[in-house]
Amino acid sequence: MDKRRIGSLQVSPIGLGCMSMSHGYGPADEPTSIKLLNEALDVGYDFLDTATMYGGGKNEELLAKALKTRRHEYVLASKCALFKKDGKPTIDGRPETIRQQCEASLQRLQTDVIDLYYLHRLDPNVPIEESVGTLADLVKAGKIREVGLSEVSSDTLRRANAVHSIAAVQSEYSLWSRLPEIQMLKTCEEFDTTFVAFSPLARQFLTGKAQDATHYGDGDIRTNNARPRFEPEAFAKNIQLLEPLKDIAVQLKCTTGQLGLAWLMAQANSQGNKTLVSIPGTKHIEFMRENIGATQVQLNDSLRDEIGALLHEDMVIGARYAQGQMKVMDSERDRD
């Protein structure tokens, strides 16, 4: 499998988002998750993404429990500054908080170093220079190898890079969420920063297996923060956008989900960013195996462009997040 670069690190073009095994999509079965994580390494995943926020640290503990003896087989990414306090999501990018959370993550992960450590969200009360300066100190101390940012604007990336090189920017990117195309992909190219796409399958939408919000429980983000596009009336119209992609998937002998991931891999050269990695998340072993299979789907430039025109954010009904969630985002359109 071809490798893609994140700073000094080398990873496969499709990594594994681990959030849903502890957070965001309802309860998960721990024995199944442990089996999934091990099988993921066996079938070719070598980039695993977790965070302090996911399950209040439980996701990091899960990775350590499942893969402690296999730590050398994968690149490990985690995140700081976003967590729950008194049951409410809190953003705190102060230096002392970042240092404390890094130490706690290292203990939960049972590792000496985190390969890629992101500022999970920009703290509007703390200059990005202070937060990144602290992350740079953690690099010098050997606690982390590379610095990343999540859900930030191009302006923030520029300011951060003046303090320390940023190896990766993570944000939502898929056929139905094109925000990074406004400016971020070009800015990443300018600074030799890898773009890491989360929710590349549009929260299961692109697989054709998703349902409207009424089918999910309270612990599922499609019933709250990510609800707008899954509202019954909006979803009934949005799901029709998949029909032309189904025909292409049949021709290529792949699933619509694999087609969406293959489109993202092909975007690395078309959007001014030569290094782009996606991290589809799942708590289901069969979906994990299906997702990595997308690396076998090849798209030429013409077909890539055709797919991108068949399903585009401008066609989708509903915002990607509820209004309250949008207010904490630091990105070109989301902050307007």
Query: Residue 335: pLDDT band by 50, 70, 90 thresholds?
Result: very low
pLDDT in tens, 173-182: 999 999 999 9
pLDDT in tens, 150-175: 999 999 999 999 999 999 999 999 99
Q: What is the mean pLDDT of the chain?
A: 94
- Residue 195 has a CB neighbour count (10 Å cut-off) of 26
pLDDT at 329: 74
pLDDT in tens, 271-316: 555 689 999 999 999 999 999 999 999 999 999 999 999 999 999 9
pLDDT of residue 336 exceeding 80, the answer is: no
CATH, domain range 4-205+264-296: 3.20.20.100
pLDDT in tens, 203-223: 999 999 999 999 999 889 999
Q: Can you tell me the mean pLDDT for 33-57?
A: 98
Query: Residue 1: pLDDT band by 50, 70, 90 thresholds?
Result: low
pLDDT at 275: 86
Q: Kindly compute the dihedral angle of the four CA atoms of residues 223, 198, 302, 45, in this order, to the nearest 10 degrees.
A: -120
The token duo for 264 is 């993202």
pLDDT of residue 193 exceeding 80, the answer is: yes
Rounded to 5 degrees, what angle do the CA atoms 238, 239, 244 make? 105
Going by C-alpha positions, the residue among 181, 197, 190, 187 that lies closest to residue 155 is 187
Q: Can you tell me the mean pLDDT for 75-89?
A: 95
Listing DSSP states for 223-239 in one string gives GTTT-GGGSHHHHHHHG
* Integer Cα distance of 299 and 261 in angstroms: 11
Active site residues: 54
Going by C-alpha positions, the residue among 184, 305, 211, 207 that lies closest to residue 260 is 207
Going by C-alpha positions, the residue among 272, 128, 118, 254 that lies closest to residue 192 is 272
Q: Domain-by-domain residue ranges, the chain?
A: 4-205+264-296
Strands 82-85 and 88-91: antiparallel
Amino acid at 311: L
Q: Return the exposure string of 278-291: e unless at least 16 CB atoms fall within 10 Å of the residue's CB, then b.
A: bbbbbbbbebbebb
